């Protein structure tokens, strides 16, 4: 996007164009005005055609003529003038004269700042004819600039999410402003009206302070008045602030809303694309479900819906899509090769192509790698937590290829292994952690790894809460920027409290002591959490009958983003999960190694552990699937520091990315994801392969219903003075100009004048030829 122009000095001009401008569509036709001389020439030539002869009888007539000479001369000149005017009007009508009204332009004599606010929502890409709504808005903006008096200044804002100032400082350079309008690209995002008004108020105030010669200010909203944009869902203080800011803007500037939408705009949108049976493994079938939404008033019959994988169409279905509720369409596909694969749904055939496609990236693996950290190795047989977990994750007999490769290792492996090579790390009955181990686990989550914490009889709750950072009320959310630096002057021992000075937080809940031993029942909370969805309708009995005698009490703050998947009948959380940094952390409250705990030997244990792993690893796919405007962030371990990367955007552009490096990882960040489609990240090291990312539009924007002018005045902007002009009537004519700026043709009036003069000439000729004797 071009950089905002710097403020320029604005000098007043002496001569300004009038509010009404005239012109001719066919100027060469005015050459025929010479034909107006034909009646005069004929009159002059006719006087020389005859030879005068004296005749006695004519003397009486000549005497009478001399008595009425003045009147006859007047009659002849009047007829000559009328006939000449007829010719002039016919020539002028053929030249098609016009006048241009500039009612929305302030009167000459004062300089004005005109702020052009473009609606940046992707509904502006709707194309009912040869022009899209956004093209139409750009054409209107050009006309505003071209028709404004000399000395007026212009500012250009884009109402997107977030809104942006394209030309921030007022500029009097029309050519520069026209270039900015021409190069303006439509982001495929939603529009944020409250934030746009905040930005607008800021620029109006700043322009008034820095440019006192701008006596007036005027704001043009070029929009389709889509309801989702112009009826923001606000309440309470937010609604009050919105209306107060709207009134403040209206006091500073005259508001003009130019509506480029249509009153009836049907649209079919691909609302969602879901993948099931994740994580995706090589040579395993994956089930996809896509949802179509018909926002029109009529059903669409035999609508083609295409499934594309890596750009190749693999299946097509014809379905009927009724208006109103979503229509589901199912597909299945088997991935043969591991790696990132792009899945696309395409439902072509309407005027808004942007939301007819939806993408999803599916990372496919040959096998999952899991590291089980055993806090108390059993030394043989199946006795410890890590043994039960390993058997539950890989129950296949020896020699049979398993989709999950499990490695059990002692606590020292946290320092010895490269954690980024594993999809998930299970911490099984680990008593405590050092600061250095906590820092390694934090970097692992930042790179997209996953943690599962299984307590046992060795767990020390106080140590966990201090080193791994239990959540605190009001500080439960983690954005991935917290880190921990050890104090080299203060070594950590078993008798000293770990420092954790910068608040690393790896726990989704605070761990308290064990509850008194008793018999407790499980509460699956309606199986709403995806971690327990496999038990719905199939394993309910096995899960509900699982015996439970004791558990660690977990404290989840009310403002936490953590979710409880399984609870005790009294409401105490038993399984809590939260997305921390770029990975998922699952914390169990049931001690697996505690003597007398029957859970590892119960039928529900094996599917529960497998579902926990599947839930954690499936979170990686969500990191590859983003919304328009959401930043694309890739983190890799410290071995990749110094690695170059190149990003290919959906429109084919190649952008070199510079990594943000730290002591433990490298990160590549790209924030200009304003276009939907597939983004491909390539590394300079071929061994790193490529990474694909899908960016999709917000499906809510597919509803093109507009707010009416009355509702805008009465409900959205009550008491706010604004002018609303509708221009959609002319959208079916390419290049058409709106009524407020359109040149008004005068040829019809001129032709009516010709008819009147012809009638008048006939009447005069009859009257003058029948005088009484």
In DSSP notation, 472-535 reads: -TT-----S-------TTS---TTS----TT-----SSEEEEEPPS--B-EE-GGG-SGGGGGG
pLDDT of residue 730: 45
Residue 476: what pLDDT? 41
Say which CATH number the domain at 318 has: 2.60.40.10
pLDDT score of 296: 87
Look at the chain and count its residues: 773
Structure tokens at 223: 């929009």
- SS3 assignment, position 211: coil
**What pLDDT is attached to residue 747?**
72
Give the tens place of pLDDT for each residue, 179-200: 999 999 999 989 999 999 999 9
pLDDT of 500 strictly over 80:
no
Domain boundary among 338, 365, 392: 365
- CB 580 within 8 Å of CB 505: yes
Q: Do 657 and 762 belong to one domain?
A: no
More confident residue, 468 or 105: 468
| Main-chain phi, psi angles of 657, to 5 degrees | -110, 135
Structure tokens at 352: 């808004």
pLDDT-derived band at 396 (thresholds 50, 70, 90) equals low
For position 9, what pLDDT does the model report? 37
Q: Are the C-beta atoms of 144 and 114 separated by less than 8 Å?
A: yes
For the segment 246-252, the average pLDDT, to the nearest whole number, is: 93
Q: Is residue 15 part of a domain?
A: no
Inter-residue contact 439 to 662 (CB < 8 Å): no
What distance in Å separates the CA atoms of residue 727 and residue 736, rounded to the nearest whole number? Answer: 9
Q: What is the mean pLDDT of residues 98-105?
A: 48
**Whether residue 605 sits in one domain with residue 456:** yes
Q: What's the total number of domains in the chain? A: 5
242 lies in a domain?
Answer: yes
Distance CA 242, CA 248 (A): 10
The mean pLDDT value for 28-48 works out to 68
Query: Does some domain include residue 281?
Result: yes
| Strand ranges across the sheet with 268-275 | 268-275, 285-294, 327-334
- 383 and 247 part of one domain: no
Q: Identify whether residues 256 and 273 lie together within a single domain.
A: no
CATH number of residue 203's parent domain = 3.40.50.410
Give the range among 44-58, 327-341, 726-740 with minimum mean pLDDT.
726-740
Share of the chain above pLDDT 70, in %: 78
Q: Return the higher-pLDDT residue of 27 and 293.
A: 293
Q: Residue 151 contacts by C-beta under 8 Å, 6 or more apart in sequence?
A: 10, 11, 12, 13, 16, 111, 172
Chain position carrying tokens 């909203």: 221
Cβ partners under 8 Å of residue 85, min gap 6: 757
Of 62-76, 355-369, 470-484, 651-665, the one with minimum mean pLDDT is 470-484
Report the alpha-carbon angle 506-593-573, nearest 5.
50
The answer to which of 122-136, 384-398, 556-570, 713-727 has the lowest mean pLDDT is: 384-398
Domain final position from 587, 602, 619 = 619
- The order of strands in the sheet holding 280-281 is 280-281, 357-365, 339-346, 300-309, 312-321
Phi-psi region of 448 (alpha: psi -120 to 50; beta: other; left: phi over 0): left
Report if residue 177 sits inside a domain: yes
Q: 55-69, 336-350, 661-675, 696-710: lowest mean pLDDT where?
A: 55-69
* pLDDT at 742 exceeding the cut of 80: no
Which run of H or of E encompasses 247?
helix 237-252
Q: Among all chains, which residue has been given the structure tokens 């276009």?
A: 675
pLDDT band at 676 (very low <50, low <70, confident <90, very high): very high
Contact assessment for residue 607 and residue 593, using Cβ atoms and an 8 Å cutoff: no
Q: What is the mean pLDDT of residues 526-550?
A: 80
Write down which residue in 335, 365, 395 finishes a domain.
365
pLDDT band at 62 (very low <50, low <70, confident <90, very high): low
90 and 138 share one domain: no
What is the per-residue pLDDT for 545? 81
- Looking at residue 67, what is its pLDDT? 66
3-state secondary structure of 680: strand
**Residue 280 or residue 384, greater confidence:** 280
Domain with 751 in it: 27-95+745-767
- Tokens 């590859």, located at residue: 624
For the question of whether the overall pTM of this predicted structure is more than 0.75, the answer is no
Q: Are residues 539 and 409 in the same domain?
A: yes
Q: Which of 4, 24, 334 is nearest to 167 (CA)?
A: 4
Per-position DSSP letters for 551-576, written without gaps between them: -EEEE--TT---EEEEEETTS-EEEE
Does the structure show a pLDDT above 80 at 683?
yes
Peptide bond into 162 cis (omega under 30): yes
Does 208 share its domain with 246?
yes
Which tokens hold the place of 103? 């009612």
Question: Could you identify the residue written with the tokens 């043969």?
Answer: 336
Q: How many CB atoms lie within 10 A of CB 318?
A: 9
Strands 153-159 and 214-223, by their bridges, are unpaired
**Which among 532, 623, 540 has a CA at the least distance from the CA of 586?**
532
CATH code of the domain covering residue 516: 3.40.50.880
Q: Are residues 548 and 411 in the same domain?
A: yes
User: Does 156 share its domain with 177?
Assistant: yes
Q: Are residues 273 and 207 in the same domain?
A: no
Q: Of 31-40, 368-377, 688-697, which gets the smallest average pLDDT?
A: 31-40
pLDDT for residue 238: 93
pLDDT value for 594 = 62
Rounded to 5°, the CA angle 599-602-603 comes to: 135
The pLDDT assigned to 596 comes to: 59
Flag whether 280 is in a domain: yes
Q: Grade residue 750 by pLDDT with cuts at 50, 70 and 90.
A: confident
Helix (H, G, I), strand (E, B) or coil at 636: strand
pLDDT in the model for residue 49? 55
Beta-strand pair 563-568/451-454: unpaired
Question: Is 334 a domain residue?
Answer: yes
User: Does a cis peptide bond (omega within 30 degrees of 0) precede residue 534?
Assistant: no
Asked if 401 and 419 sit in the same domain, the reply is yes
Residue 392 in domain:
yes
Check whether residue 138 and residue 259 sit in a common domain.
Answer: yes
pLDDT of residue 602: 84
In a domain, 345, yes or no: yes
Element at 764 (helix H, strand E): helix 747-768
């Amino acid at each position: 996007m071009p950089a905002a122009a710097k403020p320029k000095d604005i000098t007043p001009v002496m001569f300004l164009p009038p509010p009404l401008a005239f012109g001719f569509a066919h100027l060469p036709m005015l050459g025929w005005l010479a034909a107006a001389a034909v009646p005069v020439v004929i009159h002059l030539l006719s006087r020389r055609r005859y030879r005068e002869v004296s005749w006695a009888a004519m003397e009486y007539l000549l005497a009478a003529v001399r008595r009425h000479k003045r009147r006859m001369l007047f009659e002849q000149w009047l007829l000559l003038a009328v006939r000449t005017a007829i010719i002039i009007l016919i020539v002028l009508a053929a030249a098609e004269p016009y006048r241009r009204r500039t009612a929305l332009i302030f009167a000459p004599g004062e300089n004005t700042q005109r702020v052009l606010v473009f609606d940046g929502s992707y509904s502006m890409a709707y194309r009912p004819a040869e022009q899209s709504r956004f093209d139409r808005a750009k054409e209107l903006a050009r006309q505003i600039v071209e028709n404004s008096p000399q000395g007026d200044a212009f500012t250009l804002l884009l109402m997107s999410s977030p809104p942006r100032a394209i030309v921030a400082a007022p500029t009097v350079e029309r050519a520069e402003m026209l270039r900015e309008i021409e190069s303006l690209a439509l982001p495929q995002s939603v529009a944020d009206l409250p934030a746009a008004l905040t930005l607008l108020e800021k620029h109006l105030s700043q322009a008034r302070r820095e440019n006192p010669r701008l006596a007036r200010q005027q704001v043009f909203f070029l929009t389709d008045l889509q309801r989702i944009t112009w009826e923001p869902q606000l309440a309470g203080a937010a609604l009050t602030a919105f209306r107060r800011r709207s009134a403040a803007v209206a006091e500073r500037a005259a508001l003009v809303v130019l509506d480029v939408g249509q009153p009836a705009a049907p649209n079919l949108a691909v609302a969602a694309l879901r993948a099931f049976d994740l994580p995706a493994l090589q040579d395993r079938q994956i089930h996809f479900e896509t949802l179509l939404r018909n926002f029109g008033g009529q059903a669409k019959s035999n609508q083609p819906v295409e499934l594309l994988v890596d750009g190749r169409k693999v299946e097509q279905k014809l379905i009927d899509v009724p208006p109103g509720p979503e229509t589901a369409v199912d597909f299945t596909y088997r991935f043969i090769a591991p790696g990132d694969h792009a899945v696309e749904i395409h439902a072509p055939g309407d005027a808004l192509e942007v939301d007819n496609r939806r993408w999803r990236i599916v990372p496919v693996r040959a096998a999952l790698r899991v590291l089980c950290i055993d806090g108390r190795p059993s030394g043989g047989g199946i006795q410890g937590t890590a043994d039960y977990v390993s058997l539950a994750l890989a129950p296949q007999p020896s020699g049979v290829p398993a989709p999950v490769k499990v490695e059990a290792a002692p606590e020292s492996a946290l320092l010895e292994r490269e954690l980024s090579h594993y999809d998930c790390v299970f911490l099984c009955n680990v008593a405590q952690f050092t600061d250095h181990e906590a820092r390694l686990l934090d970097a692992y989550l930042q790179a997209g790894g996953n943690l599962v914490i299984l307590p046992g009889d060795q767990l020390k709750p106080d140590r966990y809460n201090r080193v791994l950072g239990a959540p605190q009320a009001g500080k439960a959310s983690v954005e991935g920027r917290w880190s921990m630096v050890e104090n080299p002057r203060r070594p950590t021992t078993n008798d000293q409290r770990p420092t954790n000075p910068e608040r690393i937080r790896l726990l989704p809940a605070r761990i308290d002591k064990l509850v008194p031993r008793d018999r407790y029942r499980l509460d699956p909370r309606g199986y709403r959490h995806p971690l327990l969805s496999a038990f719905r309708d199939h394993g309910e009995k096995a899960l509900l009958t699982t015996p439970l005698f004791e558990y660690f009490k977990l404290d989840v703050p009310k403002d936490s983003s953590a979710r409880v998947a399984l609870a005790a009948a009294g409401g105490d959380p038993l399984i809590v999960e939260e997305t921390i940094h770029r990975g998922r952390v699952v914390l169990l409250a049931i001690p697996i190694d505690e003597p007398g705990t029957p859970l590892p030997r119960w039928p529900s244990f094996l599917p529960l552990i497998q579902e926990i792993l599947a839930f954690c690893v499936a979170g990686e796919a969500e990191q590859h699937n983003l919304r328009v405007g959401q930043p694309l962030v890739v983190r890799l371990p410290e071995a990749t520091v110094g690695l170059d990367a190149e990003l290919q955007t959906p429109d084919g552009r190649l952008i070199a990315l510079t990594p943000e490096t730290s002591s433990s990882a490298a990160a590549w960040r790209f924030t200009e994801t304003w276009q939907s489609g597939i983004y491909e990240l390539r590394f300079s090291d071929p061994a790193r392969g490529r990474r694909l990312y899908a960016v999709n539009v917000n499906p809510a924007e597919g509803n093109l219903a507009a707010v009416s002018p009355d509702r805008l005045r009465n409900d959205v902007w009550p008491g706010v003075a604004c002018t609303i002009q509708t221009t959609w009537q002319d959208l079916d004519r390419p290049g058409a100009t709106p009524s407020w700026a359109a040149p008004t043709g005068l040829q019809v009036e001129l032709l009516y004048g010709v008819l009147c003069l012809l009638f008048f000439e006939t009447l005069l000729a009859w009257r003058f030829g029948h005088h009484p004797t």
